Each structure stands twice: as C-alpha cells, then as structure tokens.
Amino acid sequence: MSEDYKTMWADLGLDLEAHDQLLGALGQAYQDVFLTQKNRPEGMGYFDFVMSEVHGLRIKELLDEKAAGRKIIGSYCVFVPEEIVLAANSTLVGLCSGADFATDLVEQVLPRNTCALIKSSFGFKLGKVCPYLESTDMVVGENTCDGKKKAYETLGQLVDNLYVMDLPQMKSENGKALLRAEYVRFKESVEKLSGVTISAESLKEAIATVNDKRKALHRLSSLRKADPPPISGLDALLANQVSFYDNPARFTESVNKICDELEGRVYADEGVFAKRTPRILVSGCPQAVPNWKLPMIVETSGAVIVGEESCVGERGTRNLTDASGETIGEMLDAIVDRYFQVDCAIFTPNHDRLNHIQEMAETYKADGVIHYGLQFCQPYLMEAIPVEKALEEKNIPCLRIETDYSTEDIGQLKTRVEAFVEQLR
C-alpha cells in the first residue's frame, strides 16, 4: 500500500494496525476464494481491481468528490433510494459488512445474540477500520428489523451524522403513504445537506443512471439461465456486491462489458462448470463483502449458484423505476412504486417473496434452493419455513441453513451442502 493511502486512512481516523490486519485477511480470502477459480471470464479483471483498491483508490475518489463539493451518503439498506441521492449531486455507498471484527467491543454495546450483519457493522466502526463510514456526510439507518431499529439508537451515539428513515411493515395504502412521506423527508434532508435543490431534470437523469445499473445487472442475471452458466455464482455475487461501492456509470459499463463476453461463452456452450452441474438458487439474508462463505462452500461441493434471491442480488435490483414522469411529484411516485415492491422479510404478510422465489427457481432452472438465514435474524429465519413449504408445493428441494460470519461451522455446512447436492443429481 502506498504511503498516500496510509496518510488518507490516518486522516480518516482509522486504526492503521487493525486496518492492515483486516486488509491482509481480506486479500488472503480473496486470493483463496476467487483467484483459485478456473476458467474465469476475463471481464472479472475489473472486479478484481476494484476489490484490490476497495479501501484505497475508491476511497480516494470519494474524498476527491467531497473536495469538489459532493456529499457522501452511507446506507445499510436497499430501501434508501439512490435516485434521490444522485439527483442532489451526492454519492450513495453501502455500509454493510460481511466479516466479524472487534467482537469484544461490539458485545459491550450490543447483545451477543444480535445478527452478524449488525454486529459486523458495529465492529467496523468500533474497531476503526471502515473508511467508507468515516468518509460519509450522512449515515442513513432505517426502521426495518427490530435488531437494526434498536441498534441505530446505539449507533447514534457513535456517529454524529445519523439519519433514521422510517419504513412501513405492511404493503397497504397507509404503508405506501408512509414510504412516500419518508422519501419526501429524505429528499429535503439530502437537499439541505448538499445545498442542492433537486430539479425535475436532475431527478430524471438520476433515475436513468440507476435504471441503467439495474438493467446491466438484469442482463448479467439473465445469462446465468444458460447451462452451463457462463459465470460462477461467486463472481456474479461479487459484481452485485461491488454495485454498492462503485461509481454507478463505470460499474454499468463494466457489467455490460463482461456480459458481452459472457454472451460469447453462452453461444460457445462454455462455462465455469460442466453442463448439467446441479444448479442452486440461494435465497435469504443479504451477503455483504467479504461474506463469501456459503457460495464458496456450494461451488466447491459440485454445484453452481445460478441466482441470489437477496438484497445483494435480485430482491435489491428486480424492478426499474418508471422513467416517464415529467414533474418531481410524478417521479417521486414512480420511485415509491418501485421500492414498495421490495419484498424484504420485515413485511407482513410477505406472500410476494414466496412467489418470487418460486418464479426465480423456475426461471433460472434451479434444481434446489438453499435458504440462507443469519443466526438471530428473526424475519428471515421465520420466513424460511413458509419458503420451504412453497417450494415443496413445486417439488423443488430446499435446504434451510442458519449460520453466521465465523469459519467454525464450515466443515459442518459443507457436509450438509454436499448431501443436498447429491440429492439433486
């Protein structure tokens, strides 16, 4: 790492020693999990580069943006609309993390039985190793699950720029009205922070930018319907993970570029795995960087992942925002319509999610579904049972797993996944 980065990290208040340890572990995991894959598409080189610079060049870019007057807004949930952020000349970055860090410090402020996703985000703050969080001008939390909702009360004491977005729990007219009111309040807060009044023109442009990013990811997903799929589940997940950090236009271009290459592979019947390799759909909790445990286990157990029903995946990107509105009001309505369809398990009832999982299993020709639940995540663990039932009705085998970010259960999980894959052959 260059000395410039070290100065940058120190200026952000990071603990350089702890941060070095984190980057060392991340680099090793990346090497072991990604770079050992055979026959990867060349276009993955871009994502390898982004990952190698995820705390370096990208942070420098964000700080340069800040110096030029843009504001950086961090979020923990796909309900925070990037369209509004971009329209206010600001940048949205994801803050969720996928590795345990400073657990001893975390357990002084949160109960031990909190999900790994929340604990990890706190660990990155308390351990002073997240340059994204330290670069933000506003951190957006949201009232989704009880764990997050209450954890933000504590996070508010650790950061001085927390904004909490209230979110509905039911897909009712009242729920939709709440979402709209919250998006209007968010728009006003972002305008105040950035000093930029969102215009119809800037909002239209932002909708187009975010739609383009989603279209590129839809294109990537669609290519995975092929047998053999032209890209591994690990690499496709990585592209989805990078979408939360990267510059949107550059990301879109890079995904479209890799899709051009993958189309050629599909045409040539070429894939990372052999034809008729058992195909798995993963459904459940989001998998943030560097949470690659489950896909690594699946794809070293004789199966390939062909889709993610997850917020780092299709649940997060499924629908486009209608771009036909001309006034700010019409465009906000379209944004609300789009996000209100996100079928997170915090909604009750949540039949849409069951339908979507069945549809995805059919569309991606999955032989089986693995439901990925993080330990102590009530919404997804509870919903795993109706998910399994809905899949049984379609004769699609389902394996429910409950895990965390530790490596201790890898052997046990591998045994269960291997047995499941055997059953699918």
Q: Which residues bind ligand BJ8 (CB under 6 A)?
A: 77-79, 115, 117-118, 144-145, 147-148, 285-286, 311, 342, 344, 346, 374, 377, 379-380
Tokens at residue 11, please? Answer: 């200026």
Q: How far is the CB of 176 from ligand BJ8 (least distance, A)?
A: 16
Q: How far is the CB of 149 from ligand BJ8 (least distance, A)?
A: 9
**Spatial distance between the Cα atoms of 29 and 179, rounded to a whole number of angstroms:** 39
Give 231 or 384: the residue with its C-beta nearer to ligand BJ8.
384
9-40 b/e (C-beta count within 10 Å ≥ 16 → b): beebebbeeebeebbeebeebbeebbeebeeb
Q: Which residues contact 205 (CB under 8 A, 6 or more apart)?
A: 86, 87
Give 247 or 375: the residue with its C-beta nearer to ligand BJ8.
375
Give 141 or 248: the residue with its C-beta nearer to ligand BJ8.
141
Give 110 or 328: the residue with its C-beta nearer to ligand BJ8.
110
Q: How far is the CB of 36 from ligand BJ8 (least distance, A)?
A: 28
Q: Pairing relation of β-strands 138-142 and 71-75?
A: parallel
Q: How far is the CB of 132 from ligand BJ8 (least distance, A)?
A: 16
Give 377 or 384: the residue with its C-beta nearer to ligand BJ8.
377
Residues listed for the chain: 425
Element (H, E) at 368: strand 368-374
**Spatial distance between the Cα atoms of 316 and 330, rounded to a whole number of angstroms:** 22
Whole-Å CA distances, 166 to 23, 85, 390: 34, 17, 30
**Spatial distance between the Cα atoms of 30 and 44, rounded to a whole number of angstroms:** 13
Give 89 or 120: the residue with its C-beta nearer to ligand BJ8.
120
Q: How far is the CB of 347 from ligand BJ8 (least distance, A)?
A: 9
Specify which residues 399 forms β-bridges with: 370
Give 77 or 391: the residue with its C-beta nearer to ligand BJ8.
77
Whole-Å CA distances, 257 to 42, 260, 319: 10, 5, 22
Please identify which residue in the block is written with the tokens 């190793």.
Answer: 129
Q: How far is the CB of 114 from ligand BJ8 (least distance, A)?
A: 8
Q: How far is the CB of 341 from ligand BJ8 (least distance, A)?
A: 11
Please name the amino acid found at residue 131.
P
Give 226 or 312: the residue with its C-beta nearer to ligand BJ8.
312
